[in-house]
Amino acid sequence: MERLNFPLLSNQTQTMTGSASSAQRIQRIFDMQQKHAIQLRTERIQERIKQLKKLKSWIDKNDFLIKKAIYDDFRKPEAEVDMSDIYPVLTELKDAIRNIKRWSSVTPVDGSVAYLTTSAQVEYEPKGVCLIMAPWNFPFNLTIGPLVSALAAGNTVMIKPSEMTPNTSALIDDMVGELFREEEVAVFNGEAEVAKTLLELPFDHIFFTGSPAIGKLIMKAAAEHLTSVTLELGGKSPAVIDENVNIRDAARKIAWGKFLNNGQTCVAPDYVLVHTQVKDQFLDALSVQVSSLFGGNEGLIGASPDYARLVNRRHFSRISSLMEEALQKGAKVRFGNHKDEADHFISPTVLTDVSLDMQVMEEEIFGPVLPVITYNDLHEAISIINKKPKPLALYYFGKSKKRRRQLVSSTSSGTVCINDCVIQYSHPHLPFGGVNNSGLGKAHGRYGFLAFSNEKAVLKQRIGFTSSRFIYPPYTKSVRLILKLLKKYF
């Protein structure tokens, strides 16, 4: 999941005065939150619900400000902001408000015969002071969504938004300042030095969304304090087009899922593996659907109010370099490749004749470029997928249950979606997260609550009884016999 773009080892620094002031504020608020986090352990669940309702009310009343901030950062259409930034957060809020009492309830646990005189349960306690490090691609959703889970679990939170979306980051700072005291939730805007200072602190949990490369640095920093982490990363999510697919349906869904947010989506299809028999029909249909979604022929897409922009010129240059390298190695443009650097614009682009040694097949693209590779047998597609790090998402388009089962069981991915794409992210009752290179830990709904909670085992024994009498010395013949029977039958 791209992209938190501060380089943790960057040479960029603030002035000495500014850096010292920022570090002092960070330490001061961290100390305050540590004290407050202890108080929150005994706070009533109703107080958490009040916080969440307060946050929901602010979003409901100020959605126009959210849309304006994100438009100023991306030129993203209002409907897309509603769909991809505001709606998922409101879904998280409603789900938490409805279910937090149940999630937080003590869970009784059954025991074996050896524990007949005991009672056992799992209690859910807040982890404490948590750090949320957010990316730029969905700057509101991927900051406030984890915040909902952290507050539902009863934590204090320090937030580092992305410096690459200054308008949305400023809005988040203003919103948090209106709704929370600093000892509850605090925002720290800034660049690499701020992130570095935050990561030096002994947080109780870190929730990071960004690239695998930065995720490794987050884990290294967390390891210094044995801090638990949730890493929402990314990777090259494949879409497999079977030979018995509904061409128009698959093309429309992939066109939407790939070019949503100008391709800057962690679960967007990163490349397509299409069966040779349907390659040309699929590519033709994909071109038609792109034109349908974004308004007429390719030359008009730049004027479409429904097509977002790349976040900045540096990202534009990175995507352009990936395309140029592929073309130099023999890839062909099926359609697209219209660019405007000043406008951070690249039109929806499909590349064919792509080989696995091209950079577009070696790193996550995270832009409006879709490589297409053909296969003759599903084993070929599976082999290509398995040669790469495990992706965040896997997509299958087709009608064959047998080949679908074969694909899903023969590969590993954080999520799977059949005959659609991207929508699995916002399902309120599914865990969301990657595996290995694409992430660590799960988020959303109850899974997000658990990510920010410690599942504490509690066992109560009756006074005067013990389930452990047979492990006390002396180990007589009768004790050894009873232990033998316990091992065999219980």
Active site residues: 232, 266
Say which DSSP state 418 is in: E
Report the DSSP beta bridge partners of residue 231: 208, 440
* Helix (H/G/I), strand (E/B), else coil: 106: coil
Say which DSSP state 84 is in: I
Spatial distance between the Cα atoms of 372 and 270, rounded to a whole number of angstroms: 9
Q: What is the dihedral of CA 140, 145, 150, 153, to 10 degrees?
A: 150
Distance between start and end Cα atoms, the chain: 46
Q: Residue by residue, what is the 3-state secondary structure of 420-472?
A: CCCHHHHCCCCCECCCHHHEECCECHHHHHHHCEEEEEEEEECCCCCCCHHHC
Spatial distance between the Cα atoms of 441 and 231, rounded to a whole number of angstroms: 6
Instruction: Kindly state the tokens that stand for 481.
Output: 């016999």
Closest residue by Cα to residue 221 from 184, 192, 182: 192
- The answer to whether 252 and 283 are in contact (CB under 8 A) is no
- The answer to whether 238 and 416 are in contact (CB under 8 A) is no
Closest residue by Cα to residue 174 from 59, 83, 85: 59
**Cα→Cα distances 63→52, 83, 119, 134, Å:** 16, 12, 49, 20
User: At how many degrees (to 10) do helices 192-199 and 16-40 cross?
Assistant: 40
Closest residue by Cα to residue 48 from 151, 173, 198: 151
User: At how many degrees (to 10) do helices 141-152 and 45-61 cross?
Assistant: 160
Spatial distance between the Cα atoms of 486 and 488, rounded to a whole number of angstroms: 5
Task: Categorise residue 190: left if φ over 0, alpha if ψ from -120 to 50, beta otherwise.
Answer: left
Q: Which residues contact 476 (CB under 8 A, 6 or more apart)?
A: none
Closest residue by Cα to residue 265 from 360, 364, 167: 364
